[in-house]
Amino acid sequence: MAENTTTVAIAGGSGFIGRAIARRLSRMAEYRVRVLSRSPSQARVRLASIRADFVRADVTDPSLLEAAVRGAAVIVNAAQFDGYPVENPRLGLTFERIDHLGCTALVEAAKAAGARHFIYLSGVGADETSSHPAFRAKGRAEAAIRQSGLNYTIFRPSVVVGQGDRVVSMLTKALRFAPAMVLPGSGRQQLQPVWVEDVAACVALALTASARVRAQTFEVGGPERMTLDELLNLIMNITGYRRPIIHAPESLMRLAGAIGEKLPRPLLSRDAVSFLMLDSICDTKPLVEALGIKLTPAREALAYLATKP
């Protein structure tokens, strides 16, 4: 390993977006990747064959964090709680605990370790004054980063797609087995799907474009906006699986959410329903101008779906 490599520690490096970042940076000779995980051995399996170190860390346990990030010049936070976006307060799986307090703990560890760049995977709509726990917690996390004195770059993605994602994988699985597709709400929610490899590329570019990304917050989306119905139709076109679409009214979804919240392992909640009903669109012009990235159209990003499992 060359002496002048930069160590990049990635919290959530075993996750969907974190893996794409870890893979990309591990192919670049100038970086040494350190994947932070609650289970380094499992993370190693998920990222088999990449050149990286695997270190135990839990953002809810600040006592371990400082040692975990020691020696890293760059810290990336791509951690998210299991079961997202459905909170499970009984197990401490909440936006407040992981997104806000977890990020704040990581920021403190980064400061103590003398890191020079903090990168946060936030989300479209982050707002510390929001009444929704997801947007509020991400807004609070962003505020903690801005007040930290660290050099930072915040990325706020819309829905992120690619192999191993949440939304498209779930829809594709349902398409294969269900006689009809049930979508939450009107299906007219606006999305701007962005390819996970483009998100990872933004992180990699941010590491070298430091003057243009210093203390900046960028919204990250794909080149086109589409409704949830249009996204499903695109998936049906690519996969060849055609199903009728049924729209579940918001009132019914909220009732299901209220019931779901009562389960020991909630599968749905009212907050998660609100989350699914909202638009997730953004302005990518500042991102494209700062990083010079060419964003990939959703059809191209989802081309892998054409290969039948």
Ligand X SMILES: NC(=O)c1ccc[n+]([C@@H]2O[C@H](COP(=O)([O-])OP(=O)(O)OC[C@H]3O[C@@H](n4cnc5c(N)ncnc54)[C@H](OP(=O)(O)O)[C@@H]3O)[C@@H](O)[C@H]2O)c1
CB of 261 to ligand X, least distance (A): 20
Q: What b/e string do you get for 191-230 counting C-beta neighbours within 10 Å, with b at 16 or more?
A: bbbbbbbbbbbbbbbbbebeeebeebbbbbbbbebbbbbb
Which residue among 54, 81, 118, 152 contacts ligand X (CB under 6 A)? Answer: 81
In terms of CB distance, is 48 or 211 closer to ligand X? Answer: 48
Strands 160-161 and 152-157: unpaired
**Residue 33 to residue 69: CA distance in whole angstroms:** 11
- Tell me the three state secondary structure of residue 171: helix
Angle between helices 250-261 and 270-277 (to 10 degrees): 150
Q: Return d(Cα 158, Cα 168) in angstroms, integer.
A: 13
Residue 80 interacting with ligand X (CB under 6 A): yes
Nearest approach, Cβ of residue 92 and ligand X (Å): 9
The Cα 156–Cα 158 span in angstroms is 7
9 vs 73 by CB, closer to ligand X: 9
87 part of the interface to ligand X, by CB under 6 A: no
| Residue 72 near ligand X by CB under 6 A | no
Per-residue interface string for the shown chain with ligand X, residues 7-46, x marking contact by CB under 6 A = ----xx-xxxxx------------------xxx---x---
Q: How many residues does the chain have?
A: 309
Q: Quote the least distance from Cβ 122 to ligand X, whole Å.
A: 7
Binding mask 150-189 for ligand X (x = CB under 6 A): -------x-xx-----x-----------------------
Residues that bind ligand X (CB under 6 A): 11-12, 14-18, 37-39, 43, 57-60, 78-81, 84, 98, 121, 123, 157, 159-160, 166
